[in-house]
Amino acid sequence: MTKRIVSDKSERVDKFLSENLSYTRAFVQKLIKSGKVSVNGKIVLKPSVKLRSGDVVEAEEMENKPLEIEKENKPLKILYEDKYLLVIDKPAGLTVHPVGSKNTDTLVNRLLYHVKDLSGIGGVIRPGIVHRLDKDTSGVLIVAKCDEAHQKLSEMLKTHKIDRRYITLVKGVPKPEKGVIDVPIDRKNGTTKMTVSPMGRRAVTHYRVIEKIGNVFSLVAVKLETGRTHQIRVHLSYIGHPVAGDPVYGGGTKDAELRRQFLHAYEISFIHPIIGKRITVYSMLPVELREVLNKVRKKWKKK
pLDDT at 267: 98
User: What number of other Cβ atoms are within 10 A of residue 211's Cβ?
Assistant: 13
Hey, CA dihedral for 148, 106, 270, 186, is it positive or negative? negative
| Helix segments in 34-163, DSSP class H | 107-114, 147-158
pLDDT at 243: 96
- 134 is a catalytic site residue: yes
Domain boundaries, the chain: 2-60, 78-159, 164-266+287-300
CATH homologous superfamily of domain 164-266+287-300? Pseudouridine synthase (3.30.2350.10)
pLDDT at 70: 84
Q: Does domain 78-159 have CATH number 3.40.47.10?
A: no
pLDDT at 147: 87
pLDDT at 66: 47
Q: In this structure, are residues 281 and 81 in contact, taking their beta carbons and an 8 Å threshold? A: no
CA-based R_g, the chain, Å:
20
The pTM for the full model equals: 0.78
Q: In this structure, are residues 83 and 43 in contact, taking their beta carbons and an 8 Å threshold? A: no
pLDDT by 10-residue block (mean), the chain, 303 residues: 84 86 76 88 91 90 61 93 95 84 81 85 72 94 92 90 97 96 88 88 96 94 94 97 93 74 97 96 96 92 66
Q: Which is catalytic among the residues 55, 134, 136, 246? A: 134
As a whole number of Å, the end-to-end CA separation of the chain is 64
Q: Which residues, listed in sequence order, are joined to residue 42 by a DSSP beta bridge? A: 39
Domains 78-159 and 164-266+287-300 share a fold: yes
**CATH class of residue range 2-60:** alpha beta
pLDDT at 28: 84
pLDDT at 294: 94
